[in-house]
Structure 1
Amino acid sequence: MRNLAIFLCLTLSLATSALAQRRWTEQQANDWYARQPWLVGANYVPSDAINQLEMFQAATFNPALNDRELGAAESIGMNTVRVFLQDQLWEQDPKGFTRRLDAFLAISAKHHIRPLLVLFDSCWEPNPHLGPQHPPIPGVHNSGWVQSPGAPGLTDPAYEPKLEAYVKGVVGAFANDDRILGWDIWNEPDNTSGRPGEPKNKAELVAALLPKTFAWARSVHPTQPLTSGVWTGDWTDPAQESPVTKIQLAESDIITFHNYGWPEDFEARVKSLEPLHRPILCTEYMARGSGSTFDTVLPLAKQLNVAAINWGLVAGKTQTYLPWDSWLHPYVLSQPTIWFHDVFHPDLTPYRQHEVDLIHALTGRGTPPTLTAK
């Protein structure tokens, strides 16, 4: 009887473990979303950091600046930020990186902000390196951003255990941490920069690795949802979806997407995702020169019960107030008339007072948003 009891306990334990590693049901996902406030925030990189590495490396991590800038976000009603991590930070110093991330989460919590943490990213520079980062290229949008994993890690099968250790290590360290909103497994996985060193079969490599990454994260039993945001292609017809999009939609507990188009396009994208019957969060929007603005999209997102996380909080070394066309035609001799992304000047005065008033009014949070230079 004792052996039978042990066997039954072990079987139950294994079954529970397997269940915990499955994608959330629609009911679980919608129950989670019902417990959240309307989520509004920004993709956040400190104004003194050119990329993810500079944000979190020991030599350049700046808690005091994080505190000031997240305080500005809180003051206009924001309650979340989307923050990018990088696998080399973990490989170099797991304990140190964990401490710095914990410190950042404490600052965020102080300001009633719960971050959505991004583990991997396929955008921009395919050969990232630790240590000092190059200065911003004059007049160029996001000129120092780096991928994770870089091309060497993506193409070398021997590197995969390091990526697994990173995912399990970071998610496992904070798996039960209420300060975290969720885990964004991979940003725009099949995006290609066309920069030197990027593998030509990148989409195929990512498609093979993406399901494993979700499984690694689930294996440490996070209480927060997992997601990877769809960003391109036709989402109205499964037959038209790319292999990577199919994986993203099949694996995500909550549905996230990117849209930098006019409000009509934003609404159409939301409608194309509603048949999935899961919470919908827009984790990138707001490109003023492309028709995506706070004035038009944010009220619509609230009406549709869609979370809204714009790109950029404080103008700084990423230079994302410059438009995408600066990649081809740098704004060196003149500045664009309209900022592309970002909400605040480096001194934390608003780029446009009406926008911060609108965010504050729609969220009903924060303090009166008239900010002065410091």
Structure 2
Amino acid sequence: MNFLKTTLCILAVCLSLQNCTKKAEDKKEVNETAQDSGRKIWTKEQANDWYKKQEWPVGADFLPSTAINQLEMFQQESFDTATINRELGWAEEIGMNTMRVYLHDLLFQQDSAGFIKRLDVFLDISEKHGIKPVLVLFDSCWDPFPKLGKQRAPKPGVHNSGWVQSPGLNALKDSAQYGRLEKYVKGTVAAFANDNRILAWDIWNEPDNPNTSSYGKVELPNKVDYVMPLMSKAFAWARSVNPSQPLTAGVWAGDWTSHETLKPVEKIMIDESDIISFHNYEGAASFEKSIKQLQQYGRPIICTEYMSRGNGSFFKTSLPVAKKYNVGAINWGLVSGKSQTIYPWDSWKKTYTSEPELWFHDIFRKDGTPYKKEETDLIKSLTASK
């Protein structure tokens, strides 16, 4: 009898401990969910109300001419405020009011406080020139092996010869580093969550870009399988700190006829975005087609990359179309510099020994003179009448 009583007591204690453990786990799960839930994806009405309060967004993907990539732009040793101020002044003169600017997870890992401080300085300079940037958190384009410190010199005549991915390949495939990436997203967005100097957060640039012509041989063959779950997490991390600015990720290569024709990665990009963004480096007809396809979502639209002269994408053809549909327009490149994006994409395979007669990207030379004055006149004219 005593043995039976003892056994029953032990069972009762075990059940009690299990219940306590389960309650603790349930409570932890609820707390984690509450912590990460943040705000919800904006409704169409919220997104459109926000857009009505903005100027027509017109600008460029910006890297100062003295920087080869995101790391060189924002690392303490090479943070060139004088050049940034001068070049954003040229953008202001032609009526631009936004810039798309790339950040990097390694900058936060290296010196989070210093990075946030330098980003704050950049935003002050931008605000002085009437520019509200779109800030890009992650990017799958070009070199998959980013390294902190002094960046390499440009390869002569090669388009974006030093641009680096964020996160790099090693971090992308290592889930043990996702905690670090979470701190980067939450820490960066939280620092500026209610900052009116920022137009929007671009969560991930061209997430499934395989970089076939440049780094294809060393890329992860199943890269998109790593990117998709991490991008979903990144959207959730950003929303968890309740940003007042919209989140987005721009579709760039696919069939956008309907939601059913989207690739899985594109469905995440569209479904998680407060506002719709896209890239188009084709002619006017293709540009307009992209806009019409994306209007099905009933949200504001911003083209965050366009204008590649050698590919048939020009200011004179695309920018008037963007204005017609009240679609934001951010072209690639402001000032010709260390990124060397005046050279075409095929410069990775073809040798260029002198400046191309037809610049691929960019608007100004390093001394501030326009590559084509008729282009800057057009931009100024269209932005003045917005």
TM-score after normalising by structure 1: 0.92
Q: 1:41 corresponds to which letter in structure 2?
A: G
C-alpha deviations, 1:135-182, integer Å up to 9, x for none? 110111010000000001100010000000000000000000000001
Q: 1:228–1:255: 8 Å Cα contact kept in structure 2? A: yes
Q: 1:43 corresponds to which letter in structure 2?
A: D
Give 4+ residue runs of structure 1 displaced > 6 Å after superposition. 13-19
Output the CA distance in 2 between the equivalents of 1:154 and 1:190: 12
Determine the structure 1 residue equivalent to 2:19: none
Output the CA distance in 2 between the equivalents of 1:131 and 1:221: 33
After the TM superposition, which of the residue ranges 38-47 and 322-331 deviates more from structure 2? 322-331
Structure 2 residue ranges without an equivalent (≥5) = 1-30
> Does 2:84 correspond to 1:63?
no
Output the CA distance in 2 between the equivalents of 1:110 and 1:197: 42
C-alpha deviations, 1:6-59, integer Å up to 9, x for none? xxxxxxx99998885210000000000011111100000000000000000001
- Tell me the matched-pair count: 353
TM-score after normalising by structure 2: 0.89
Match of 1:235 among 253, 256, 261: 256
After the TM superposition, which of the residue ranges 246-255 and 188-197 deviates more from structure 2? 188-197
Q: Report 1:66-81 matches (<5 A).
A: 66-81=84-99
Structure 1 residue ranges without an equivalent (≥5) = 1-12, 367-374
CA displacement at 1:330 relative to structure 2: 2.4
> Does 2:293 correspond to 1:272?
yes
Q: 1:138 corresponds to which letter in structure 2?
A: P
Determine the structure 2 residue equivalent to 1:328: 349
Q: 1:217 corresponds to which letter in structure 2?
A: A
Gap change, CA 1:14 and 1:47, over 3 Å in 2: closer
Q: 2:61–2:305: 8 Å Cα contact kept in structure 1? A: yes
C-alpha deviations, 1:289-333, integer Å up to 9, x for none? 11110111111110011000000000000000111111110212x
Q: 2:37–2:239: 8 Å Cα contact kept in structure 1? A: no
Q: Report 1:1-374 matches (<5 A).
A: 20-194=38-212, 195=215, 196-332=217-353, 334-364=354-384
Instruction: Provide the secondary structure at the position in 2 that maps to 1:179.
Output: coil
Larger Rg: 2
Output the CA distance in 2 between the equivalents of 1:271 and 1:16: 38
CA displacement at 1:197 relative to structure 2: 3.7
C-alpha deviations, 1:108-139, integer Å up to 9, x for none? 00000000000000000000000011111011
Output the CA distance in 1 between the equivalents of 2:38 and 2:77: 38
CA displacement at 1:238 relative to structure 2: 2.5
C-alpha deviations, 1:179-228, integer Å up to 9, x for none? 00010000000111242542111001001111100000000000000000
Gap change, CA 1:165 and 1:20, over 3 Å in 2: closer
RMSD of the alignment, in Å? 1.7
Q: 2:37–2:236: 8 Å Cα contact kept in structure 1? A: no
Identity %: 59
Output the CA distance in 2 between the equivalents of 1:339 and 1:14: 51
Output the CA distance in 1 between the equivalents of 2:241 and 2:136: 17
C-alpha deviations, 1:233-286, integer Å up to 9, x for none? 100032321111000000000000000000000000001000100001000000
Determine the structure 2 residue equivalent to 1:9: none
Higher helix share: 2
